[in-house]
Structure 1
Amino acid sequence: MKKISLFFVLFISGHLLFAQNEVEKGLEAITMESLKGQLEFLASDWTEGRAVGTKGAYMAADYIASMFQTYGVKPFGDVAFTQPSRSERMAGARPEPYYTYFQNFGLIEYEPGDEQVFSVVTSKPGSESSMDFTFKTDFYVQTGTVGQKVQAPLVFAGYGYSDEDKTYDDLKKIDVDGKIVVILQGYPGHKDTTSVAYKKYKPEGRYAAYYLERDKMKNLQDAGALAVIYISPDGNPMMGWAQNNVYRDNGGFNESDKRPNPYYGNRMSLPGKEIGGNLSTFTVSSRVVNEILSGSGIDIEKFEEKAATDMEPASKILGGKSVAFKTTVNSNVVNARNVVGYIEGENKDEFIVVGGHYDHLGKVDGIIYNGADDNASGTVGVMEIAKAFMATGKKPEKSVVFAAWTGEEKGLFGSNYFVRDAKEKEMNVVLNLNYDMIARNPEGDSLGNQAHMVYTEANTLIGETTKKNIEDFDINLDLELRPSERPGGGSDHAPFAQEDIPIFYFMAAMHPDYHQPSDELSKINWEKMQNIIKVGFLNTWKFANSDDWKKTTVKPKAE
């Protein structure tokens, strides 16, 4: 009996040691030399900032694919065909299919065309008058992907805002279907930080104001609005449309008498089978606002004060008022590509996706935006985890896809395309790890070890596993855990979360060099970057070889 017990103990101990060695082999593969070598190339001037569709982005994609191939990660992209030579064809050879590391897709790049028309039409018994305004004098328009010609009645819809619990909803008692909607920027109480409305509705998080306005557009489009007119009571948009630039622009990193070309001047869209996202958005001068609201009884200042105190919408149809507009669009197609490889698991049909975007802002007016932290750092993280998985020498239970996304900076296009394609192919994607900006220090990070991780709140073991791995492997990382019911925002985990796929997402810090040419290698915190990659590997290895983390904590329904 003792012999059997001793044998059992030795067997279990050996098995655990072997498993531990697998993990240790993976961790040992994540070397500082490897991190530096890969990041120094991706963030070099040779890749010219890796803007989607550019030569620099294609060069970066080729490099990432070559790293996957070097590590032994299999291609998981589009199918291509061999091209036999003429003599080979004559000998009977035929094109053979093979998988590539590239997932190719087209984007529509577009901007307002030369002709833009905007008229405010006032109808009275027996008469109709039209005020015709001039593009870039009294209005500017962000068009959809195709031009439009519309005349429709006007609706004032306050802020066009509704909170998650629908305690305030500007669209609740007004029909905007087939209408042009006039809204204010912001939300109830946004000008009065002492108001109850401000404390209740103030959005939190990275780029909160941007996401707020974006969500308004989506809600209005879903409700059938034909166009949106933005009112900015405290701003003077005409200043931004002025054509002269008398003084040198010494702001930021630009010292020139020429205004820099904005990266987001030309917008992009991921086309589907139907025309989507074609809601034209107008920004107008104060005299256009006065013409629209004349005779309506709406006083913007009083409305904002009342919304802050009473938190009650005041949406209404603007009787006798309509707008006629015509937009034209200049557009072209830009080819883009994700880089995708995978390690086949024992379960071939269950996938974890480890991803991060490799694109950045590119080269603007000769200035290269290298994007060392955003997001060459996260891309290196993806490659290093792929390397670590291969170094274990063990096949994981689940298949793991390693993806470098493009088009994130223009609208999460690469990750959106992958999720859409995976859904059409009925891929069983069970988890997503996203790396975005994992190598810098936030203000006040005196020890240089702070970062945060967002994860799907229901999957509580994701957070618990992360804390345990940091403790068990003595990793110098002060990690703030941020559980979220359905994590959103402007990074590549969002398309997965929208499909109710659990995610966990690492970010080290926002910093003053964000989207500036100064986001360079000299400011990278290499140790923090390495530690975040190690935790990501440990988590992913655990999740790829177990199912415990899938257990969810379901919140009890409110009575």
Structure 2
Amino acid sequence: MRLRIPLLFTLLCCKSLLFSQTTVQNPSKNDFSEALTLLASDSLQGRKANGRGGSLAASYISSKMHSYKLKAYNDFEDYFQIFAIEEHTVKKTSLQIKKRNHKTISLSPDKDFEITPTTNSIQKKQAEVVFASYGLDVSKENYDDYKNLDVKNKIVVVLSGFPGDQDTTSSFYKKFKNIFPEENDLEETKLKTAISKGAIALIIIETRENFKPQSKENEVFHSLENTTATSIPIFRISKKTAENLFSKSNIPLKTELTSTPLKKVKINFSIELKHETSYVGNVLGFIPGKDTTKTIIVGAHYDHLGIKNDSIYNGADDNASGTSGMLALAKKWSESNIKPESNILFAAWTAEEMGLLGSEYFVQNFDFKKQKILLAINMDMISRSAPEDKTHRILSIGTQKGSDNLKEIANFSNNKLAKPFSLDLWETDGHSGSDYASFTTKGIPVMTFFSGFHEDYHTPRDKVSKVDLDKIQDVLFIVNNSILKFIENQHN
């Protein structure tokens, strides 16, 4: 025993010394405020991915990575991973409805409907129509609007929203709001469900009274170059238009809904697109680890919406906040002179606003045979608070279902704060609101950080003057400590 006690003491001391040497200082405001101010300045013109502002932002981020002595990923020149995207401009679209024994009704894209097309032009198509209530199939809730419906090669008409969405006190509302907290996720689910059932187009009846269709002609949509379309077009019409078109076709715009084929109705549509190619780039720099076959990613998208109608969309919160935070973490890890157990890749994704294209391109071209991604951290909008967050201390952290270890890490890191956040820990499964989705589709563990939607989201009012620097600093504290704890857990 006398020999074992000194040996055990020595081992414990060595272990303690090992962990003390892997401490990386948490970023302060001085580490990110300058980058945030520059990225969200008028001079960067809203950082549109394929615009001049996007190029200027990428060059700035590259210069910062160089100054932090990060290694260029895969020896890319100047840290850039360049790739092509396609712009699809809607030149002409038509939507016509024919009811049996009635003349054909042509709808106008200027006032009757709006469209989100696929990446390909579509010659005139005619198909039968099926009404599928809210267009949802949620097996875990034993709810299926498509039960006993055959929609293959047909057009599906659904209502916007979800059951009980007009009554915030109802059990249906609470149940479905928990499943679909964001409107974008809800619509994405409806689209994917319609595709999986074999539909060729989706028509959404917008039940909001203030919905006014906006013409999408000459509007630009984007995709990765040479992407095979796996989507279908979405047409949105107002409640009033739907009542005029389908009043005699058993679409009850009320609480009690019955999914049903519309046997007396046929719809034809066409979409003409113009295609152009442009080039954009992710900016990637990393610190090599002891094990170079494994990687932790710390990422944020740097692009925003650019200039619209002579207004600059500065995107201070979305997402100069996350990008400047990523750079601050890169700075601190570089200054620590610590060689981490695995690679730490600091990534500035582009074209997130165009459909997560930058992170998607990265994942599609990642060599999973040679390397393994242990964890992908995503920071998107970490400097503001939602209107209902009166104390400005709610932080949303998303992980995949079953990632209890990451939730524990989030709680552990949060509790180290002098003033902990109220954490909203949610599961990313089925959601695609930011770049984390490019990794979850590959089964890669994620932690995605978000501090809340606000009234300035995607408006020219999202400016530096409104960001909360203290909140960013505390979010980065949690991110940094989560990385450290994750690495510690990996090697215990």
- After TM superposition, the score normalised by the length of structure 1 is 0.78
1:111 to 80, 89, 94: 89
The one-letter amino acid paired with 2:62 is A
Report what 1:218 is aligned to.
Answer: 192
Equivalent residues in 2 for 1:258-273 (5 A)?
Answer: 265-273=219-227
Q: Distance in 2 between matches of 1:11 and 1:320?
A: 80
Instruction: Give the corresponding residue for 1:13.
Output: 13
Structure 1 residues 171 and 40, CA gap change in structure 2 (3 angstroms): same
Paired position in structure 2 for 1:151: 126
> Which residue of structure 2 lines up, in the alignment, with residue 121 of structure 1?
98
Aligned to 1:337: 281
Aligned equivalents of 2:169, 2:4: Cα separation in 1: 73
Q: By how many angstroms is 1:197 displaced?
A: 3.6
1:179 aligns with 2:154: yes
The change in CA–CA distance for 1:272 and 1:351 in structure 2 (over 3 A counts) is: farther
Q: Which amino acid aligns with 1:488?
A: H
| Deviation readout 1:232-260 (Å, 9 max, x if unpaired) | 356476x5459xxxxxxxxxxxxxxxxxx
Counterpart of 2:325 in structure 1 is 381
Separation in 1, partners of 2:396, 2:105: 53
Give the corresponding residue for 2:105. Answer: 131
Distance 1:22 1:176, change over 3 A: same
Aligned residue number for residue 364 of structure 1? 308
Given candidates 53, 58, 68, the residue that maps to 2:55 is 58
Inter-CA distance 517–165: structure 2 relative to 1 (3 Å threshold)? same
Tell me which residue corresponds to 1:281: 235
Match of 1:411 among 352, 355, 359: 355
Question: Residue 29 of structure 2 is aligned with which of 20, 32, 56?
Answer: 32
Aligned counterpart for 1:504 among listed residues 425, 447, 450: 447
Amino acid at match of 1:328: E
Q: State the partner residue of 1:161.
A: 136
Change in Cα spacing, 1:193 to 1:123, as seen in structure 2 (3 Å) is: same
Task: State whether residues 226 and 280 of structure 1, in contact with CA within 8 Å, keep that contact through their aligned partners in structure 2.
Answer: no
Counterpart of 1:209 in structure 2 is: 183
Distance 1:417 1:394 in 2: 30
3-state SS in 2 of match to 1:318:
strand
Once the two structures are TM-superposed, the CA of residue 407 in structure 1 deviates from its matched residue by 1.5
Question: Which structure has the greater CA radius of gyration?
Answer: 1
In the alignment, the residues of structure 1 paired with residue 331 and residue 342 of structure 2 have an alpha-carbon distance, to the nearest angstrom, of: 16
Contact kept in structure 1, 2:213 and 2:238, CA below 8 Å:
no
User: Structure 2 CA distance, aligned partners of 1:422 and 1:233?
Assistant: 42
d(CA) in 2 for partners of 1:139, 1:221: 21
Change (3 A) 1:325 1:5: closer
Q: Give distance in 2, aligned partners of 1:461 and 1:449.
A: 23
1:305 and 2:280 equivalent?
Answer: no
Cα distance in structure 2, aligned partners of 1:362 and 1:476: 36
Shift of 1:471: 4.3
Q: Does 1:402 align with 2:346?
A: yes
Summarize deviations over 1:127-168 as a string: whole Å, max 9, x none. x85334444244433322222120111222222122242522
**Percentage of identical aligned residues:** 30
Matched with 2:437 is 494
Query: Is the partner of 2:185 in helix, strand or coil?
Result: helix
Task: Kindly indicate whether residue 161 of structure 2 is the aligned counterpart of residue 189 of structure 1.
Answer: no
| Structure 1 residues 285 and 62: alpha-carbon distance in aligned structure 2, compared to 1, 3 A threshold | same
Would the aligned equivalents of 1:53 and 1:335 in 2 still touch at CA under 8 Å? yes
Question: Partner residue of 2:69?
Answer: 72
AA of the residue aligned to 1:46: S
Local SS of the residue matching 1:215: helix
Distance 1:4 1:499, change over 3 A: closer
RMSD of equivalent CA atoms: 3.2
Gaps of 5+ in 2: none
User: What SS is found at the alignment partner of 2:120?
Assistant: coil
CA–CA separation in structure 1 for the residues paired with 2:108 and 2:455: 37
Give the direction of change, closer, same or farther, for the CA distance of 1:467–1:154 in structure 2 (3 Å limit): closer
Q: Aligned partners of 1:192, 1:481: CA distance in 2, in Å?
A: 23
Query: Is residue 434 of structure 1 aligned with residue 384 of structure 2?
Result: no
How far the C-alpha of 1:193 sits from its partner, in A, is: 4.4
Do the aligned residues in 1 keep the contact of 2:133 with 2:159 (CA within 8 Å)? yes
Residue 321 of structure 1: how far off its partner (Å): 2.4
- Out of 450-459 and 156-165, give the one that drifted further: 450-459
For residue 143 of structure 1, what is the amino acid of its counterpart? P
Instruction: Tell me how far apart the structure 1 counterparts of residues 419 and 108 of structure 2 sit (CA, whole Å).
Output: 59
Distance in 2 between the 1:8 and 1:190 partners?
61
Q: Is the 8 A contact 2:410 2:478 kept in 1?
A: yes
Secondary structure of the residue aligned to 1:324 is strand
TM superposition shift of 1:477: 3.2
Report the CA distance shift for 1:470/1:232 in structure 2 as closer, same or farther (over 3 A).
closer
Q: Secondary structure at the match of 1:41?
A: helix
SS for the counterpart of 1:48 is helix
Answering whether residue 297 of structure 2 is matched by residue 353 of structure 1, we say yes
User: Are the structure 2 counterparts of residues 77 and 477 from structure 1 closer, same or farther at C-alpha, using a change threshold of 3 Å?
Assistant: farther
Give, in angstroms, the shift of residue 475 of structure 1. Answer: 4.2
Change (3 A) 1:479 1:78: farther
Counterpart AA for 1:76:
Y
Q: Distance in 2 between matches of 1:441 and 1:290?
A: 41
Shift of residue 118, structure 1, vs aligned partner: 2.7
Q: What is residue 173 of structure 2 aligned with on the other side?
A: 198
What's the CA shift for 1:305?
A: 2.5
8 Å CA contact 1:458, 1:485 repeated in 2: no
Q: 2:480 aligned with 1:537, yes or no?
A: yes
Aligned residue in 2 for 1:461: 405
Distance verdict in 2 for CA 1:343–1:156, change over 3 Å: same
Q: In 1, are the aligned partners of 2:110 and 2:214 still within 8 Å (CA)?
A: yes
Alignment pair present for 1:321 and 2:265: yes
Residue deviations 1:381-438, cap 9 Å, x none?
A: 2112222222222211111211111122222222222222226766411211111122
3-state secondary structure, aligned to 1:422: coil
Gaps of 5+ in 1: 80-98, 243-261, 308-313, 550-559
Deviation at 1:39, TM superposition (A): 1.6
TM-score (norm 2): 0.88
Cα drift, residue 466 of structure 1: 3.4
CA deviation string 1:268-291 (max 9, x = no partner): 223454223242425367456544
